[in-house]
Every structure is written in structure tokens, then in C-alpha cells.
Amino acid sequence: MRTVIYQCLICYRFKAQATEQLMVELPSKRVQSSWPFLTTGVDYAGQMTLRLEPTLRKAVKRLHCYICLLRD
């Protein structure tokens, strides 16, 4: 009997239990109203070279890029 219930797709779906998402409490400075970017820091990572893969009949393309991290 047990194998019949587990192999039956309709029974399996009705037996499924809904899961709840666990949420963490937000820090107090995120919930209070304040000016935008009041407590935000900025970090830059200086010039990096990206190498793009060659396409048909074209050479390897190189681009320079920067990284900007906004942190709270």
C-alpha cells in the first residue's frame, strides 16, 4: 500500500507540505527614514583588463574596466 501511495503522482502532490521562507530581522538603520546614501561607503578597484574571446576572423579584444562597490 505504501509503495502505491508514493508512486501515485496525484497522492504525492496532495501530501506535499508548503514550506515557509525564513526571514531575518533588518538592521535598525535600514528601517529608519534617512537621506539616501547617508551611511553608504564606496570602494573602487582600479583598472583591470578584460579579454574577450575572439569571434570569426577577428583578433582577441581587450577592454579596460573598473569596479565600484557600494556598501552599507
pLDDT tens digit string along 11-68? 777 777 877 888 888 878 777 887 877 777 888 988 899 888 776 667 778 889 999 9
What range defines the domain where residue 62 resides? 39-72
What's the confidence (pLDDT) of residue 5? 63
Residue 60 falls inside a structural domain: yes
- Looking at the 3D structure of the chain, how many domains does it have? 1
What's the confidence (pLDDT) of residue 1? 67
The span from the CA of 48 to the CA of 65, in Å, is: 5
Asked whether 39 and 22 are in contact (CB, 8 A), the reply is no
Residue 71 falls inside a structural domain: yes
What's the confidence (pLDDT) of residue 28? 81
Residue 16 falls inside a structural domain: no
Residue 64 falls inside a structural domain: yes
Residue 72 falls inside a structural domain: yes
